[in-house]
Amino acid sequence: MANITKKVSWTSRGDDAGGGEGTPLLNGSEEVRYTRQDSPKGRPEEIPHNEKLLSLKFESLDYDSSENQLFLEEERRMSYLGFRCLEISRWVICGLIGFLTGLIACCIDIAVEKLAGVKYFVVKQNIEKFTEVGGLSISLILWAVLNSSLVMVGAITVAFIEPIAAGSGIPQIKCYLNGVKIPRVVRLKTLVVKVFGVICSVAGGLAVGKEGPMIHSGAVVAAGVSQGRSTSLKKDFKIFEYFRRDTEKRDFVSAGAAAGVSAAFGAPVGGVLFSLEEGASFWNQMLTWRIFFASMISTFTLNFFLSIYNNKPGDLSSPGLINFGRFESDSVAYNFYEIPLFIVMGAIGGLLGALFNKLNYWLTIFRIRYVHRPCLQVMEAMLVAAVTATVSFSMIYFSNDCQPLGPDQSEDYQLQLFCADGEYNSMATTFFNTPERSVRSLFHNPPGSYNPGTLGMFTVTYFFLACWTYGLAVSAGVFIPSLLIGAAWGRLFGILLPTVTASGSIWADPGKYALIGAAAQLGGIVRMTLSLTVIMVEATGNVTYGLPIMLVLMTAKIVGDYFVEGLYDIHIKLQSVPFLHWEAPATSHWLTAREVMGAPVICFNRLEKVGTIVDILSNTSTNHNGFPVVVPVAASDEPGKICGLILRSQLIVLLKHKVFVELARSRLTQRKLQLKDFRDAYPRFPPIQSIHVSQDERDCMMDLSEFMNPTPYTVPQETSLPRVFKLFRALGLRHLVVVDHDNRVVGLVTRKDLARYHLGKHGLEELQLAQT
Amino acid sequence: MANITKKVSWTSRGDDAGGGEGTPLLNGSEEVRYTRQDSPKGRPEEIPHNEKLLSLKFESLDYDSSENQLFLEEERRMSYLGFRCLEISRWVICGLIGFLTGLIACCIDIAVEKLAGVKYFVVKQNIEKFTEVGGLSISLILWAVLNSSLVMVGAITVAFIEPIAAGSGIPQIKCYLNGVKIPRVVRLKTLVVKVFGVICSVAGGLAVGKEGPMIHSGAVVAAGVSQGRSTSLKKDFKIFEYFRRDTEKRDFVSAGAAAGVSAAFGAPVGGVLFSLEEGASFWNQMLTWRIFFASMISTFTLNFFLSIYNNKPGDLSSPGLINFGRFESDSVAYNFYEIPLFIVMGAIGGLLGALFNKLNYWLTIFRIRYVHRPCLQVMEAMLVAAVTATVSFSMIYFSNDCQPLGPDQSEDYQLQLFCADGEYNSMATTFFNTPERSVRSLFHNPPGSYNPGTLGMFTVTYFFLACWTYGLAVSAGVFIPSLLIGAAWGRLFGILLPTVTASGSIWADPGKYALIGAAAQLGGIVRMTLSLTVIMVEATGNVTYGLPIMLVLMTAKIVGDYFVEGLYDIHIKLQSVPFLHWEAPATSHWLTAREVMGAPVICFNRLEKVGTIVDILSNTSTNHNGFPVVVPVAASDEPGKICGLILRSQLIVLLKHKVFVELARSRLTQRKLQLKDFRDAYPRFPPIQSIHVSQDERDCMMDLSEFMNPTPYTVPQETSLPRVFKLFRALGLRHLVVVDHDNRVVGLVTRKDLARYHLGKHGLEELQLAQT
C-alpha cells in the first residue's frame, strides 16, 4: 500500500530517490518521532486513510538566506550601484517572465482553436452527412475516436514522460509557494509536457480548461528565466547568478504564477492577489509591484499577439484565455432585493462544490489504490474521452431544443441536426463547443436561447463528467468546467425565477444569474476568496459585480467548508504534503516548542572531523538537512551552545571541494571557496554517495565557521506553538533551533513539526509522519 | 525652535505630555545614544533641517502579543467554540466598520452638496444680477466672504479643538499602520472635527477633496468600534474586550482605512491593497478577507443611502464619493502606439509632482517656522480661501471661452456671464463647481468643450492654489486637486496632440488623455503604486485601462523619486516619525545588532523590589518602555541571562493593583490579577506619577514571572542589520532583545534604532535622535 501511494503521487517516478533532484528527501527528526509515538501497528503501511499522514519525503525551501561570512562579505563589497543593477535585473526578469508566459498562453490558445476547429469541422460535416441518411452512430464513433486519440497522445506524454504535469498544477504551485519543494515541478521538461498535454486534452473534448495549467506554466517559466540557465538543456547563460537561491527563486515563481493567472483570465490584479494569497508570507511593496508588472506584461503580450492573430493588430480586446465577454453595465445592474437570491445561489454553489469535492476525493482514493500504472492511467483517460463524446452526442441527439439561428453566430459550431432549417440544436451549443465558448454563450446569449430542460440535463451530465475528469493523468484545469456547470445551473435559476415569483418580469436576466452561478460553483469547488473575486471581476471587465460576487464566494466557502475542504487542499492532503496554513490551530496554545521539536539533534562542532560529517550525511535513517553548529560545554554529555547552523547542501559542496583544514595549510587548494561554488551547485546538489572521501581525508578536519549561518533564529523551549509557528511562517524558515536558557541546543523545529497539528472535528489532531 | 517644531507638529497640544494619552512617550535608550553620538552642538535645538531628525516622542505599537502566563491560561481555557465566537465577532465588527464608514461618507457627501449648492446658487444669482448692471466686484466680495467664513469655521475647529485632524490624515494613518503610535489620531473627537472640518473646507471652495479624510475617518471608526467603548464619551459597552490590545486594534484599523478608501473611491479592492501596501507586514488570508468585507460593506452602504437620497432606491450607481463616470469601452480603447505617449505623460506627471512636492516642502518648512499659532493658522486658511475665490473669479471674468449649452447639463452650476444666450462660460465649469464635478467634466465632456487656453490657465493657477492649500490647518485631502490638475493638463495634451501630429484625427479622445493625465499627476504627487492603479481602475469602472495606468504610475514614480520623495513621506519625515520601510537599506550589511542596539539595558530580576521599579519608571531621562527580566549570573557585575520581557504598561498595572509578594501572603488582595485588568487600562495607562506607593510598600517585592513575556524574541549580537530588520518588521515587534552567546542581555533594539538608517545621496546615512 505504501508502495502504491508512492506510485501515484506527484513524484511517482521510480528513479526518484537516486534521481535528478539529488538531495536526499528527508528532513527533521522522524526517527525520534517514531520511537516516541508510533507503536509497530502505527507504521504507515497500515494506516488506511493517507490524508491523515504527513509525508517525510518533501523538503522545505530555504526562504531565509544563510547569512554566512561569504554572503556578508559579498554584500558588503557590493556598492549601492550594484544593488541598483540587481534591482533592475529583477525588473527585466519579471518582464521576461510576463512576456514568455503570455507567449505560451498565446500558443496554447491558437493550437487549441486550430485543433478543435478541425475536429468540429470534420465531425460536423459527418453529422450533417448522416443526419438525413440515418447513420449517426458512425458520426458518434468518429467523434469518440477523434477525442480518444487526442487524449491518448496527451495522456501518454503525461503518464510516461512527466507525471507531475498532470492536472492543473495549482496544488503543486500552492505547495511550492508555501515553501515545500516538490521535485521536478519547475523544470523545463514539465513545462513542455504540460503545454503539449493541455492542448491535447482540451482539443480532445474533455471537460477541462486550459487556464489552470497556465499558472503552472508561468511558474516554470519564472523558475527557468530567473536562474539564467536550464539544467534540462545543459545550458548556463552565466547571468542572474545572484538569484540562484531559494529566496529569490521563490519570489520569481510567485511572479510567474501571477503572470499565468493574468494570462489565463486577463486578470493582472487577480494574479497578484492569487500569488499573495497562496504564497506570500511577508508582503513587500517592491516585490508586489514587480509581480504586478509581470502580470501586466503577460496579459498585454497575450492580447497583443492574439490581436495580430485575429488580424486586428492593436485592438486589445482579448486580455485572457477565457474571456467572459463584455457585460454592459445596463444589463447587469442588480437590485438590492436580488442580494438574498445571490446568497442562496452561493449556498447552492457551496453544496454542489462540496459534493463535487467529495466525489472527486473518493475517486482519487480509488485511483491511488487501483489506477496507478501509467498504461492504466492512459486507458482511463481514453475511456473518459470516449464516454464524454458519447454522452455529449446522446444528449444532443435526444434533445429537441431547437432555437432560431441568429445571423451573428455563424462562427460557432452549430448543429442543425433534426431541427428545422434556420434553427439550430441548443444543446449542441453547450456540448459541441470548446468549454470557453460554451461559458460565453451561457453568459451572453439572449433570454430564451436555452430551455430549462436542456440546462438541467447539461448541468447534471457535465457535473459528473467534470468530476470524473479531474485527477486523470492529463494536463488540464478545473476552472472552466466549474464555471460551465455553475453558469448552466445559474442560468436555469435565472429562467425559473420569474416563473416562481409569477411576476414574469425582465429583471431576472439569465446571463446575470449565469455569471453568479458560475462564481458560486467555482467558489464552492476551489474555495479561493479575495483573489477569485478579483479574477471574476476582471474577467467580466465590470466592477459593478464586485459585491455580489464577493457575497456569493463567501457564502459558497462557508457552506462548502462545513462539509469538506477545497479541491486543491484535498489533493494536497492526499499527497501528505506538509503544508503550513496561515496560523497555528487556535487551540494549540498548550503546546510548546519542547513538545513539538525533534530531539535530540545531531550537531557539529565548529571544527569537525570529515569522517564524522560523511558518516552523518550518509546515514539514511536520519536524513537531516540542517545541523546546528555548537561550542561544546565543559561537561561533554550535555548539549553544546549554539553558534551557527549549517545545511546539508553546504556541507556537500564543502566536501566536494575538499575544504579541509589540513589541505588549506598545505596550500593544495588553489583558491578560496566562493559563494559562486554554492550557486553553481544549486539547486541540484549531488548526493553524498557521489562524493568520494578517502580514508586519509576522513581524518582531516573541516572548519565550518566561515560557511555556517552564525545567527540562526532560535526560540526558547517554553515558546508556545502559535508563537513558534508565527516566526517560522512569517520568515519562511526551514530550521528553527530550540534552545534552553543557556543557549544550549535542545531541539530543532522543522516544517513537519508544525504542519502536523491541525484542527479536526474533535479538536486538535496530530497527523502521523510517514516515510512515503 | 524646538518648541516651534513641537507647536506645529501633529501632536502639537500644550497638554501633551501630561495629557490624556498617558503613557510617557519615550522609548528605547536615547540617553546612551546621546552620550555616544551627540556633542552638545548636536542637540536638536540647533539642527536646522528637522527631516534629518528622528523624534523620540513617538511610541511603537505592540503588534507582538505578550504571551505571559495569564494570556496563555486564558487561551488554553478557551474552547474551540470560543475561538469561533471570536472569529464571528471579528466579522461583525468589520461589518459595522464598513457600515459606519459608509454612513459617514454619505453624510459628508450630502452635507457638502447641500452647502455648496446653496453657496453656488447665491453667488450665481448675484453674478447674474450684476452682470448686466456692472457691479461684479460685489459678487466677487460675496463669493470671497462666503468661502472665507466657511473655511474659517472649519479652520477654527481644527486649529483650536483638534489639530491632528488637519490635512488628509493619510500620513498619520500610514504611520499608525506602520506601527507608530500617533497620539489622539484614532479618537472620537478627532473624527468629529475631521468630518465637520472637511465639510467646511470643501464647501468653502478650497482646492481640496473630501476623499483623503475618509481614510482617516474609517480608521477612527475601526479603532472605536473594535474596542467596544469610547473614552471620549466615557462609555464602555463591555463588549469586544478580547480585542483590547495593539495587535487586534491595528488589524481593525487596517480594515477601517480600507473601508475609507473604498467609500471614497468606490474601490473595495483598491482599499484592501491600500491597507496592505501601507500597513501589512504579515499577510494573513482571513484578515485580508475581513478587510475586503469591510470595504465592500462600506461602498455598498454609501451606494445604498445615496441611491435613496437621490430618489432612485436600489440603483447602485454611486459606489464612491468621487465617481469618474462611466468610461465606455469603445471610447476608451487605446492603441498600441499610444503607449509611448502615455509614458511621456507619466514622466510629465512625475516632474510636475516633484515640483508640487518640493514647493509644498518649502511651504511646510515656512509654516513650521512662522505659522504655528492657531490664530495665524486660521488666518492663513481664510486668506487662501479668499485668494482662491478671487483667482477663480478673475479667471472666469477674463475668460472668453464660451461654449454652447447642452440640454443635459442644466444641473451643474453654469455661468452665462458675458457669453451669448444659449452659451456658458467654459472656465466656470472648472472653477465654479465642486472639484469632483470638475474632474468628471474634464473626463467626459465631449471634445471641444474646452479650449486649450482655458485648460492651460486653469492648470497653472490650480496647481499653485492646491500646493498652497495642502498643509493648511483644515481637514482636507490632496487626491482630488491632484486629479483635477492632471485631468486639465492631460486634456490639454489630448487636444494639442492632433495639432502636433497634424493628422487631425479622432483617436486622441481628450477625455481619455484627461484620465491618463490625472493618474500621472496623482502618481507624481503621492507615489503610491499597486493600490493606486487598482483604485483608478475601479473608479473608472473599466479594467481596459489597467496597463496604461500602471505604466503611467510607474513612470511617474520613477521620475518623481529621482527628485524628491512622495508628499506623504515628506510630511512624515518632517514630523521625524520613526517610520520603518520595507527593507533595511541595501548597503547596511556591515552593521550588526551590536552597533545599532541601545546599551546598556536596564533589566529587572524576576523578584524585584517595588522601590527599584518605581524609581526606574519615574526616571524621566531614561523613559524606557520595555525591560528585559533576567536571572543574575554569579559574577554580579555581568549582565544577567534573559528570562523574559516586561512592559512599562504592565508594571504600571501591577503597581496600581499592588501585586506585591508580601501582600499576597497576608491575603490582603481579594483576587488574583487577571488579563481583564490590563485590558481595562488599555490603551491609556496612567502615568507612573499618578500611582502612590508608600515608603513601606517600596520595600515590598514584586514577582514578575507571571506577567512578563517569558519568550521574547532575541537575536545574537553578531546578527546583521538587515536580518534584525527583517525579524523586527515581519513580526511587528517593539522590543528585540540582543543577547550574547550565553543568553546574557547585552542590548535592546527598538524602532528608532532601525529607522535611523536610510539611504541618502551619499550612501547610508544615520538620522539623529531628538527629544522633540
How far is Cα B478 from Cα B469, in angstroms, rounded to an integer? 9
Instruction: Decide if B641 touches A, using CB distance below 8 A.
Output: yes
- For B582, the closest of A284, A326, A583 (CB atoms) is A284
The reply to whether residue A269 touches residue B546, judged by beta carbons under 8 angstroms, is yes
- For B718, the closest of A544, A583, A710 (CB atoms) is A710
Instruction: Decide if B739 touches A, using CB distance below 8 A.
Output: yes
Q: Which residues contact A234 (CB under 8 A, 6 or more apart)?
A: none
Contact between A561 and A531 under an 8 Å Cβ cutoff? The reply is: no
The pTM (predicted TM-score) of the whole model is: 0.89
- pLDDT tens per residue across span A635-656: 667 788 898 999 999 999 988 8
End-to-end CA distance of chain A: give it in Å, rounded.
10
Of A246-255, A402-411, A523-532, the least confident: A402-411
Between positions 618 and 637 of A, the ones with CB within 8 A of B are 631
- pLDDT tens per residue across span A500-518: 765 555 556 788 889 999 9
Q: Find residue B660's DSSP bridge partners.
A: none
Which residues of chain A have a CB within 8 Å of the CB of B713? 715, 727
What Å distances lie between residue A186 and A163, A170, A686, B417, CA to CA? 13, 12, 18, 70
Whether the predicted pLDDT of A477 surpasses 70: yes
Whether the predicted pLDDT of A371 surpasses 80: yes
Contact between A289 and A258 under an 8 Å Cβ cutoff? The reply is: no
Instruction: Collapse the DSSP code of B309 into the 3-class scheme (helix H, G, I; strand E, B; otherwise coil) and give the result.
Output: helix
Contact between B208 and B385 under an 8 Å Cβ cutoff? The reply is: no
Sheet of B626-631: strand order equals: B604-605, B626-631, B641-647
If pLDDT is split at 50, 70 and 90, which confidence band does A17 have? very low
Q: Find residue B645's DSSP bridge partners.
A: B628, B709
Contact between B689 and B652 under an 8 Å Cβ cutoff? The reply is: no
Q: Find residue B714's DSSP bridge partners.
A: B737
The reply to whether residue A727 touches residue B713, judged by beta carbons under 8 angstroms, is yes
Predicted local confidence at residue A9, as pLDDT: 56
- pLDDT tens per residue across span A535-581: 988 888 777 777 889 889 999 999 999 999 999 999 998 888 888 88
How far is Cα A595 from Cα A753, in angstroms, rounded to an integer? 9
Predicted local confidence at residue B198, as pLDDT: 93
Between positions 330 and 389 of B, the ones with CB within 8 A of A are 333-337
Specify the DSSP class assigned to residue B159.
I
Chain B: closest CA distance from residue A69 (Å): 11
Stretch (H or E) spanning A59: strand A59-60
Residues found in chain B? 772
The reply to whether residue B300 touches residue A547, judged by beta carbons under 8 angstroms, is yes
Residue of B nearest to A72 (CA): B589
Predicted local confidence at residue A449, as pLDDT: 76
What Å distances lie between residue B355 and A605, B421, B467, B473, B561, CA to CA? 60, 41, 10, 22, 11
Contact between A399 and A425 under an 8 Å Cβ cutoff? The reply is: yes
How many Cβ atoms from other residues are within 10 Å of residue B689's Cβ? Answer: 11
Extended beta strands in B326-418, E state: 402-404
Contact pairs from chain A to chain B, CB under 8 Å: 208
Instruction: Decide if B715 touches A, using CB distance below 8 A.
Output: yes
How many Cβ atoms from other residues are within 10 Å of residue B567's Cβ? Answer: 27
Q: What is the mean pLDDT of each run of 10 residues along chain B (772 residues)?
A: 42 41 35 38 42 80 85 86 90 95 94 90 84 80 91 93 89 90 89 94 89 92 88 78 86 93 90 83 78 91 88 73 72 74 94 96 90 90 92 83 65 67 76 82 81 87 93 89 93 84 62 91 91 87 80 93 92 89 86 89 90 89 86 77 91 87 65 80 85 87 90 92 91 91 91 87 80 68
Predicted local confidence at residue A427, as pLDDT: 77
Best residue in A312, A331, A549, A550 for a mutation probing chain B (most B CBs within 10 Å): A550
The reply to whether residue B317 touches residue A304, judged by beta carbons under 8 angstroms, is no
Which residues of chain B have a CB within 8 Å of the CB of A550? 268, 292-293, 296
Grid cell listed for B515: 484620465
The reply to whether residue A716 touches residue B723, judged by beta carbons under 8 angstroms, is no
Which residues of chain B have a CB within 8 Å of the CB of A75? 589
Instruction: Decide if B237 touches A, using CB distance below 8 A.
Output: no
* CA B94 to chain centroid: 20
Between positions 492 and 531 of B, the ones with CB within 8 A of A are 529-530
- pLDDT tens per residue across span A243-297: 888 888 889 999 999 999 999 998 888 999 898 887 766 667 788 889 999 998 9
- For B277, the closest of A285, A715, A718 (CB atoms) is A285
The reply to whether residue A550 touches residue B292, judged by beta carbons under 8 angstroms, is yes
CA-closest candidate to residue B193, choices B392, B374, B15: B374
Sign of CA dihedral B131, B200, B462, B549: negative
Predicted local confidence at residue A376, as pLDDT: 92
Grid cell listed for A153: 497522445
- For B583, the closest of A284, A326, A743 (CB atoms) is A284
Residues found in chain A? 772
Predicted local confidence at residue A1, as pLDDT: 35
Chain A: closest CA distance from residue B199 (Å): 28
- For B547, the closest of A296, A335, A718 (CB atoms) is A296
How far is Cα A579 from Cα B492, in angstroms, rounded to an integer? 55
Instruction: Collapse the DSSP code of B171 into the 3-class scheme (helix H, G, I; strand E, B; otherwise coil) and give the result.
Output: helix
What Å distances lie between residue B701 and B619, B649, B772, CA to CA? 19, 18, 36
Best residue in B65, B283, B342 for a mutation probing chain A (most A CBs within 10 Å): B283
How many Cβ atoms from other residues are within 10 Å of residue B470's Cβ? Answer: 28
For A647, phi then psi, to 5°, come to: -100, 155
If pLDDT is split at 50, 70 and 90, which confidence band does A191 have? very high
CA-closest candidate to residue A271, choices A302, A298, A303, A301: A298
- For A723, the closest of B587, B711, B743 (CB atoms) is B711
Half-sphere exposure of B315 (CA within 13 A, CB side): 9
The reply to whether residue B283 touches residue A281, judged by beta carbons under 8 angstroms, is yes
Which residues of chain B have a CB within 8 Å of the CB of A289? 529-530, 554
If pLDDT is split at 50, 70 and 90, which confidence band does A666 have? low
Helix, strand, coil % in chain B, rounded to nearest 5:
60, 10, 30
How far is Cα B273 from Cα B271, in angstroms, rounded to an integer? 5
The reply to whether residue A547 touches residue B743, judged by beta carbons under 8 angstroms, is no
- Residue A244, phi-psi category: left (phi > 0), alpha (psi -120 to 50), beta (remainder): beta
How far is Cα B323 from Cα B345, in angstroms, rounded to an integer? 23
Of A441-455, A625-639, B491-505, the least confident: B491-505
Stretch (H or E) spanning B628: strand B626-631
The reply to whether residue A296 touches residue B268, judged by beta carbons under 8 angstroms, is no
The reply to whether residue B742 touches residue A67, judged by beta carbons under 8 angstroms, is no
Sign of CA dihedral B558, B563, B568, B572: positive
Contact between B224 and B189 under an 8 Å Cβ cutoff? The reply is: no
How many Cβ atoms from other residues are within 10 Å of residue B363's Cβ? Answer: 17
Mean model confidence pLDDT for chain A = 83
Instruction: Decide if A765 touches B, using CB distance below 8 A.
Output: no
The reply to whether residue A587 touches residue B538, judged by beta carbons under 8 angstroms, is no
Q: Find residue B477's DSSP bridge partners.
A: B209
The reply to whether residue A285 touches residue B529, judged by beta carbons under 8 angstroms, is yes
CA-closest candidate to residue A156, choices A366, A376, A365: A376
The reply to whether residue B711 touches residue A713, judged by beta carbons under 8 angstroms, is no
Predicted local confidence at residue B14, as pLDDT: 42
Predicted local confidence at residue B46, as pLDDT: 36
Best residue in B528, B589, B629 for a mutation probing chain A (most A CBs within 10 Å): B589
Reported ipTM: the value is: 0.89
How far is Cα A209 from Cα A454, in angstroms, rounded to an integer? 22
Between positions 54 and 93 of A, the ones with CB within 8 A of B are 67, 72, 75-76, 78-80, 83
The reply to whether residue B72 touches residue A720, judged by beta carbons under 8 angstroms, is yes
